[in-house]
């Protein structure tokens, strides 16, 4: 089965892209971020409200070229989703390449395949947040998930 893949072309630098993927995740993915993602071996957790989280292990970093996260734990509590832990054991690979006057990011989510239950909602999520990453890198302002205010 084919893993989820996406290629993003943008006007940025490889250094800026690498920095966004290692030091600025709250600026484009989710403001609900804890831990550290700047060095191999580090761990971080991202949340999308109180019912969706992912605990990541930074498995590999190649400066300005590659970022690999291993999903150690995950819970996706959304209506209708029975298997809420499908991200556990998957890998998220970001490859950064200079292509002439622009930068290309190739995202592969190893294990996110069409036969798993969350494939549609998760690929929609990747499209949303890779668009936010592109916006952040090109304008300085992404559209990350923002923690809802308590009323």
* Residues 79-137 pLDDT 10s: 999 999 999 999 999 999 999 999 999 999 999 999 999 999 999 999 999 999 999 99
Domain 4-139 sits in CATH at: 3.30.530.20
pLDDT tens figures, 5-62 = 999 999 999 999 999 999 999 999 999 999 999 999 999 999 999 999 999 999 999 9
d(CA 127, CA 130): 5
Instruction: Count the alpha carbons within 13 Å of 4 in the hemisphere toward its beta carbon.
Output: 25
Q: Which pTM was predicted?
A: 0.95
* Three-state secondary structure string covering 67-94: EEEEEEEEEECCCCCCCCCCCCCCEEEE
């Amino acid at each position: 089965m084919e893993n989820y893949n996406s290629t993003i072309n943008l006007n940025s630098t490889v250094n800026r892209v690498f920095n966004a993927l290692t030091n600025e995740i709250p600026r484009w993915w989710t403001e609900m971020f804890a831990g550290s993602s700047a060095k191999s071996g580090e761990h971080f957790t991202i949340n999308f409200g109180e019912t969706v989280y992912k605990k990541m292990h930074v498995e590999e970093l190649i400066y300005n070229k590659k970022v690999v996260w291993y999903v150690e734990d995950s819970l996706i509590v959304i209506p209708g989703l029975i298997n809420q832990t499908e991200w556990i054991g998957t890998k998220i690979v970001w490859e950064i390449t200079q292509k002439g006057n622009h930068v290309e990011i190739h995202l592969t989510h190893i294990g996110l395949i069409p036969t798993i239950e969350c494939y549609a909602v998760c690929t929609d999520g990747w499209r949303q947040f890779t668009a936010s990453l592109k916006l952040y890198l090109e304008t300085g302002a992404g559209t990350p998930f923002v923690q809802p205010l308590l009323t």
